[in-house]
Amino acid sequence: MCVDQQLFHSGVRGRADTYKKNAKDTNASKMSPKTQEARVISEALKGQTIHVPNLYSILKGWPVKANVNYERLVPVVEDAFDRQSPNLREKYRRADYARFVSLYYPHPEWDRVQTLALYIIWLFCWDDAIDQQGTVDLSNNLLRAKTRRDNTIRVLEYVLGLAPKFGSDTQFSQADYELKVIGDELKKAYTQEQRQVFMSQMRRYIGNCHEEQTMRLQGTLPSIESYSELRHGTAAVWTLCALVESVIQEIRYSSLVDQYIRFGLSENISEHIRYMEQIQTIWSETSRAVWITNDILSLRKEIPKEGSESVVNAIPIIMKHEGKCPQQAVDALLAELATSVAAFEAAAIGLEEAADKGERELLKTYCDACRCMVTGSILFSLESSRYKLEDCLNEDGSLDILL
């Protein structure tokens, strides 16, 4: 049995003694029980090594592609960084987000991928400005962060043409320039109903980010079921996918993955295919695969150096609620990833079988666009300085990550 199981499994004798020792060593007697547990979990992770097999072997030949416009994207991304916080600008440049855009969206033409790039840059910068430890006071001040999020919602409503005027209580900062451009493009490409759907998912994303920050600051770790639902929002895959479609005139509330992909492909999928259950499966499994792999690959950078914040990540959550050690938690997530891939592939086959002969090629491209969102996210995580994994990669594509 893992040492971590002794820490987190309620049925193991000695857990209380271990807990008290850790609490004493970290001066946890002054902390709330939740804060104490968050500290213990963080300390249990530090110094552990997790082994991650080559993730592409689980993805069963899913394609890895790059947009041919990568070099043209670099100045677009650099220009966007010039409008962001100076203390984060150099870090963003080292991370090479133009590379992320090209890997995540290999199919869109130049005019489309520019809009997608601006949204990606805004998304990363907006999230980091609030949630990155040690950046600004928003990271540790829930009230100020909530005010910022509420303002973002009002700005979005205005730029999408869903609010009649710019309210006096709304602040439009230089960093919101990307939202203005995105809003202008969506007003040209989308109906009001489609923009309302996109706005609904943006509210969901922003609200879930607030919930995640609350958990982090309060030392709370939810159940894995609750976290999975939360992660579908904070991973932002559904909002990213909402930017793909520019030609579909009628969409459902849950079809944001679908919208995003079709914005990039600029082609229509017939209505009887669009509303099939398999389409919903494609969207949800794309999101699940992205957040599972991201949680594994980002854990190293998320562990706080000090303090009492919880690591709101699937690995410590599984450790706490299922009594597993870090490696066992990783293995459980990898098993869930394999299940997700199988569900995705079954849905993709069902879509191709239901399609007319002339539409099958489009559906193959459509599903490949979803697959590339997963593989692109993984490759960027392995390459980028953002995740600090350059010294962890083995020759066979596996990883040994020292936490």
Q: 278, 350 in Cβ contact below 8 A?
A: yes
CA dist., res. 104 & res. 346, Å (int): 22
What is the pLDDT at residue 2?
Answer: 60
Mean pLDDT of the chain: 80
111, 71, 160: which is closest to 263 by C-alpha? 111
Top pLDDT among 30 and 395 is at 395
33-42, 188-197, 311-320 — which is least confidently predicted? 33-42
Reply yes or no on whether the pLDDT at 8 is more than 50: no
The answer to whether residue 95 scores a pLDDT higher than 60 is yes
Instruction: Give this prediction's pTM.
Output: 0.81
Q: How many CB atoms lie within 10 A of CB 148?
A: 19
pLDDT above 80 for 256: no
* Joined tokens for residue 248: 């579909």
At residue 263, the pLDDT reads 55
Mean pLDDT: which of 39-43, 136-140, 183-187, 398-402 is highest?
398-402
Q: What confidence tier does 94 reach under pLDDT thresholds 50, 70, 90?
A: confident
Higher pLDDT, 17 or 289: 289
Please give the average per-residue pLDDT across 268-282, as a whole number: 75
Q: Is 50 exceeded by the pLDDT of residue 20?
A: no
Distance CA 352, CA 346 (A): 10
Strand partners, 50: 401
Residue reference for tokens 């958990």? 215
Question: Quick check: 381 pLDDT over 60?
Answer: yes
Distance CA 72, CA 348 (A): 33
CATH number 1.10.600.10 given to 3-402: yes
Q: State yes or no: pLDDT of 349 exceeds 70.
A: yes
CA distance linking residue 178 with residue 170, whole number of Å: 16
Share of the chain above pLDDT 70, in %: 77
Q: Where are the domains of the chain?
A: 3-402
Of 154-168, 230-244, 366-380, where does the model show the most confidence?
Answer: 366-380
Q: How far is the C-alpha of 316 from the C-alpha of 330, rounded, in Å?
A: 10
pLDDT at 288: 94
Helix (H) and strand (E) counts in the chain: 19, 2
More confident residue, 364 or 246: 364
On the CB side of 257, CA atoms within 13 Å amount to: 28
Q: 119 versus 173: which is more confidently predicted? A: 119
Looking at residue 348, its pLDDT comes to 94
Query: With 60 as the cut, is the pLDDT of residue 388 above it?
Result: yes
Q: Dump strand ranges (E) for 202-325.
A: none
207-255 residue pLDDT tens: 988 988 888 888 888 899 999 888 877 766 666 655 654 432 333 333 4
Q: What is the pLDDT at residue 9?
A: 47
